[in-house]
Amino acid sequence: MELTTGFWRFKVLAAGVELGLFTLLERLGEAGAERIGSELGLRPRPARMLLACCTALELLEREHLGAGEALYRNSRTATEFLVEGRPHYFGGFVRYSDRYGYPGWDRLTEALRTDRPTTWDPDAQESAFVTADPAILEGFWGAMFTLSSFTAAALAEAYDFTRHERLLDVGGGAGAFPVGLCRRYPHLRATVLDLPQVAAMAGAKAVELGMTDVIEARGGDFLRDAELPGGHDVILLSMILHDWDAETGQRLLEKCYSALPPGGAVVICELVLDDDESGPASAALMGLNMLVETRSGNNWTYTEYADRLSEAGFGPMQVLPLHAAGANAALVAHKPG
């Protein structure tokens, strides 16, 4: 029953975000059902149902006043992640998932039978991002910055970057990893490499945070460019290799090897599948999401990563467990020398 009705929970969250429920309660502090319904344009019956669900899912807290009256306020989770304008606002990813991911997963059987993405048309588009609503995309990238910030914090504790001087974040989006790692390791300097329009966001974020002296944003295409920028002794691939087939990923690892000096390291952050492909569920489901979202992506096993790193020329792979929504492991390998 929980598997069958899992989408109910997501749609409650998505509706709360879309209606602005959590941002409203941040402004009001606390309010009764009648006031909330009036502010959101909801009649009493659906307002009561929505508030009950959000309370049951621990997105809201309810204070019973007696005689059927109650006050509602945001939970700590909602306050941190679901209030627009707050640093860790995650509603952009909720909206993106509701608008694009959810309809794509509704056609999962079609994706399984055709081996084609269902969130976009691969015959007419380069990716789902080509025709996506720019406002939704802006929120999506903001939410990805939040997600990656937490993963970066976990990586900073699991791997010692004091041995490195310059980091290259390949496909680094808005630069969450360089921001987090350079703050944790003040000696570190970083370059974000991504498509020009995405690299511009990383550059703007560096300006916003006053980190232009330690973070450089560079536009490029790590798939089509013949080589990666040199001058870095550690290269990060976070949630990158799962976007592509094995051959494309292998070529990228070979580019990493060529760009690194002897002794340099590549760090792969991913939701990695167990070798027997029995879990964890987060990695297995993300792999299936790659079917829905990409032409050829997959989430790979530890052995597959170790074999590909070895084939690219790297030494033995070290596994560092991570406890983060964006990755369950950092896989580290060094260029011999």
pLDDT tens for each residue of 17-67:
999 999 999 999 999 999 999 999 999 999 999 999 999 999 999 999 887
- Tell me, yes or no, if 232 is annotated catalytic: no
Please say which residue of 79, 111, 130 terminates a domain: 79
* pLDDT (0 to 100) of residue 125: 82
3-state DSSP call for residue 105? Answer: helix
C-alpha–C-alpha distance, residues 219 and 193, integer Å = 6
* Distant-in-sequence, close-in-space partners of 66: CB < 8 Å, separation ≥ 6: none
Residues 144 and 215 in one domain: yes
Confidence of residue 129 (pLDDT cuts 50, 70, 90): low
Statement: residue 68 has pLDDT above 90: no
Q: What is the pLDDT of residue 69?
A: 87
pLDDT of the residue at 130: 63
Least confidently predicted of 118-132, 136-150, 241-255: 118-132
Question: Quick one: average pLDDT of 314-334?
Answer: 97
pLDDT at 133 over 80: no
Of 143 and 335, the one with more pLDDT: 335
- Do 46 and 143 lie in a common domain? no
pLDDT 10s digits, 160-208: 999 999 999 999 999 999 999 999 999 999 999 999 989 999 999 999 9
User: Quick one: 51 and 189 in the same domain?
Assistant: no
pLDDT at 83: 98
Whether 3 has a pLDDT exceeding 90, the answer reads: yes
| pLDDT class of 249 with cuts at 50, 70, 90 | very high
Domain that holds residue 178: 91-334
Same domain, 52 and 162: no
Position 66 in a domain: yes
pTM: predicted TM-score of the whole model, two decimal places: 0.93
At residue 278 the predicted structure's pLDDT band, cuts being 50, 70 and 90, is: very high
Q: Cα 302 from chain centroid?
A: 20
Of the candidates 123, 115, 152, 28, the one whose C-alpha atom is nearest the C-alpha of residue 290 is 115
According to DSSP H, which parts of the chain are helical?
6-19, 21-28, 33-40, 44-56, 76-81, 91-96, 102-106, 108-114, 134-158, 176-184, 196-208, 246-259, 281-293, 302-312
Does the pLDDT value for residue 131 go beyond 70?
Answer: no
Q: What is the mean pLDDT of residues 305-331?
A: 97
Q: Are residues 11 and 136 in the same domain?
A: no
Whether 30 and 98 share a structural domain:
no
Rounded CA separation 36/13 (Å) = 16
Query: What pLDDT, on the 0 to 100 scale, is given for residue 288?
Result: 97
pLDDT of 132 above 90: no
- Which one is catalytic: 164, 232, 242, 334? 242
Of 48, 79, 110, which residue sits at a domain end?
A: 79
